[in-house]
Amino acid sequence: MLKTTYKILSIPAIILVLGSCGAGKDDTGTEYAPNMYHAVSYEPLIQITEKDAGAWVSSDDDEYGEYYSSNPNNPHSMNMRVPAENTVARSENGMLPYRLPADSLELAAKILKNPFPANEQIIEEGKVLYTKYCTHCHGEKGGGSMDETAKVGGVFKGVPAYNVGRVAEVSGGHIFHVITHGKGRMGSHASQVQQADRWKIVRYVQTLQNQE
Amino acid sequence: MLNEQLNMSLKTYITRLSLIAFLLVNILSLTSINSAYSQAAELPTEEAAISEGQTLFKNNCMQCHAVHEVVVGPALKNVYERREIPWLINFIKNSQKVIASGDEYAVNLYNEYGKAVMPAHDFLEDKQILNILGYIKQQTDNPPVEETATTAGGEGAPAGGGGIPQEYLYLIIAGFVIVLVLILVVLSMIITVLTKFVNNKEDLEEADKEYVNQTFNLNKFVRSNGFLFFIIFLFTIIVVKNVVDGLYTVGVQQGYQPTQPIAFSHELHAGQYEIECQYCHTGVMISKSANIPSANICMNCHSAIKTESKQIAKIYAAIDYDPETGEYGDNTKPIEWIRVHNLPDLAYFNHSQHVNVGQIECQTCHGPIEEMAVVKQWNTLTMGWCINCHRETQVQTKGNDYYNDLVKAHDGGELKVVDIGGLECSKCHY
């Protein structure tokens, strides 16, 4: 009699246990093979700071749990570090880092030359990049804050149009320098847009300067 | 007597003096009022001039000024009442000259707005500047009312969502329940009436009488074989379904929706403001990971937008930024975002390969991210799910000479990912 009661009781127990396997709001759910899920190496975009996390499934001899993944030698025990200063990133087309400082806008406007020709293909590539990095503030046609497509620019306020006033007159070097270092209220976009891409955007922006 | 006379003359003298003083003050005040009015009246009011002023304002001023808000420079509302028009014209034409001349108001203004140089606008004619001021006056007199209305609507709209509102659904269901109960009552009334009617008949057989007068026996019903079988069947079905479902969710994090340290909403940024995914997730075209944006990307907009928000204050705290002075300190600390999509270490996935080469939309795997206030894992991200897509998806051969030739070599037929090794184990597991 007792046995059958246990049997009957075990059924809702199984339902409860299995029902809680799935992931939910703050819960990642049950893992099938945790040792194969959690990386042994330092992962750049995930960090578990509790030293005994996953100790119950730990298979090695160190004092840390299986899930622990932080580098105590780094600031804030982060897994990622900022590259050493003056590090030169490798680039596809061998471009050297742009070294003019932020306050050299006038010099940049005078001396910089766009390495890409103003042909259809480059302008088309520039347009794709422009749509991704610039449209929400400057608008599809570069109308600035008053452009309806500039959803953020409308809230941000004070984004000029490309084709009027002094903005229509600025050189390619000026545009490149402004994308790199920002100007006025516009921030630097150097961390987002690679150098070569910046020059392509310049080619497209120049077509917007000349419209109408 | 003499004393009295002197007194009198003094009195009249004083009253006369005070009269003159009163008149003088009056005239002065009148002229000053006049001058304030006349200055505003000097500004053009005709439509053509104001529309010219509007275009000029858009093209030359709007980069740094707004009428009602401080942008880079001060808000221009009422500016024609703050300073005299000749002063304004001088300042607009060449602000640096006015500042250099030592004009106190100009120097204060220059210092107050962070010593930002307002470029010279000497190409503008006096009449054009008056038109601009006319436009500013028109904007001052008619402050934009619709702006607050649209923002309120914009915030309210997404909450409503599409389809039938929840309250109506409840009302409809309640209506149905009431109708069903009424039908039940009517049916039971019919039964009692019919039973009475049949019982009143004299010529009823014994068996029929028993049938008519039988009562519902719950105990008997529960113990009947049919009912027991039905219950056991239902129970088994539920248990089996739950067990199978439960087993399938082991190791699958679909629906995982962690609470992030900063309540960032993709619905707002990617949905309402239509910021492209790549603007923040800069790695997606060029690297394995799409990357979590660094705070300097937030600051491209949030140096000016929503600077009062508590959530934005968390960004400021992380990068040690002072919104009052606009300066950065050294005491920075990382923002501890929680990773939502945790692919197991045993599988390799590369974003650039899929997004750049394969030209797959972000939403294909991440779901309608632009509608998520809090991001959750939309798809299962299981191996079966990957394989399925590799079997069905056509390779993007456009603009790729190698694949173009390959398609030609295959008589222009379909080229799915599976055909170029999309199911090879070692492509993802090594």
Give the bridge partners for B160, in sequence order. none
pLDDT over threshold 50, residue B154 = no
Q: For B8-41, how does the pLDDT look when each residue is reduced to its tens digit (9 = 90+)? A: 555 565 556 555 555 555 554 444 444 444 566 7
End-to-end CA distance of chain A: 91
Distance CA(B292)–CA(B279), nearest Å, equals 11
In the block, tokens 């596809």 appear at: A92
- Could you give the CA distance from residue A100 to residue A93 in angstroms, rounded to a whole number? 20
List, as ranges, residues 46-105 from B with C-beta within 8 Å of A. Answer: 58-60, 62-66, 69, 71-72
pLDDT over 70 (residue B158)? no
Contact A185 B71 (CB under 8 A): yes
**What is the per-residue pLDDT across B332-386, written as a single tens digit (0 to 9) for each?**
999 999 999 988 889 999 999 999 988 999 999 999 999 999 999 999 999 999 9
Contact between chains at A155 and B254 (C-beta distance less than 8 A): no
Cα–Cα distance, B169 to B175 (Å, whole number): 10
Stretch A35-61: mean pLDDT, rounded?
84
A77: tokens are 């025990």
A187: Cβ–Cβ under 8 A, 6 or more apart, which residues?
B296, B299, B300, B303
Q: Which residue has the higher pLDDT, A35 or B426?
A: B426
User: What are the pLDDT digits (tens) for B58-73?
Assistant: 777 877 788 887 777 7
Please report the pLDDT score of residue A199 as a whole number: 95
Residue B317 clears pLDDT 90, i.e. is over it? yes
- Cβ of B239 within 8 Å of Cβ of A184? The answer is no
pTM for the model: 0.72
DSSP state of A183: B
- CATH code for the part of the protein at A105-209: 1.10.760.10
Q: How many angstroms separate the CA atoms of A27 and B255, rounded?
A: 9
- The partner residue sitting opposite A30, judged by closest CB among B235, B239, B250, is B250
For residues A174-190, one letter each, b for 16 or more C-beta atoms within 10 angstroms of the residue's C-beta and e for the rest, the string is bbbbbbbbbeebbbbbb
What was the ipTM of the complex prediction?
0.89
Residues 6+ apart with CB under 8 A from B144: B68
What value does the mean pLDDT take over residues A58-73? Answer: 85
Burial environment of residue B413 by CB neighbours within 10 A (0 to 12, 13 to 18, 19 or more): exposed
Reading the block at residue A156, the tokens are 């941000």
In the numeric block, which tokens belong to residue A184?
A: 């006025």
* Inter-residue contact A110 to A173 (CB < 8 Å): yes
- Give the pLDDT confidence score for residue B211 in this predicted structure: 74
Distance CA B150, CA B152 (A): 5
Domain spans of chain A, in order of start: 31-80, 105-209
CB within 8 Å of chain A, chain B residues 289-348: 289, 291-292, 294, 296-297, 299-301, 303-305, 333-334, 336, 339, 342, 344-346
- pLDDT value, residue B245: 84
Q: Which residues does residue A48 pair with via DSSP β-bridges, in sequence order?
A: A69
Does A70 touch chain B if contact means CB atoms closer than 8 Å?
Answer: no
Q: Which of A155, A167, A192 sits opposite B297 (nearest CB)?
A: A192
Task: Give CATH superfamily name and number for B47-144.
Answer: Cytochrome c-like domain (1.10.760.10)
Tell me, what's the pLDDT at B18?
58
Q: What is the pLDDT of residue B155?
A: 39
What digits encode the pLDDT tens for the residues B225-281?
889 999 999 999 998 888 888 888 888 899 999 999 999 999 999 999 999 999 999
Quick check: helix, strand or coil at residue A48?
A: strand
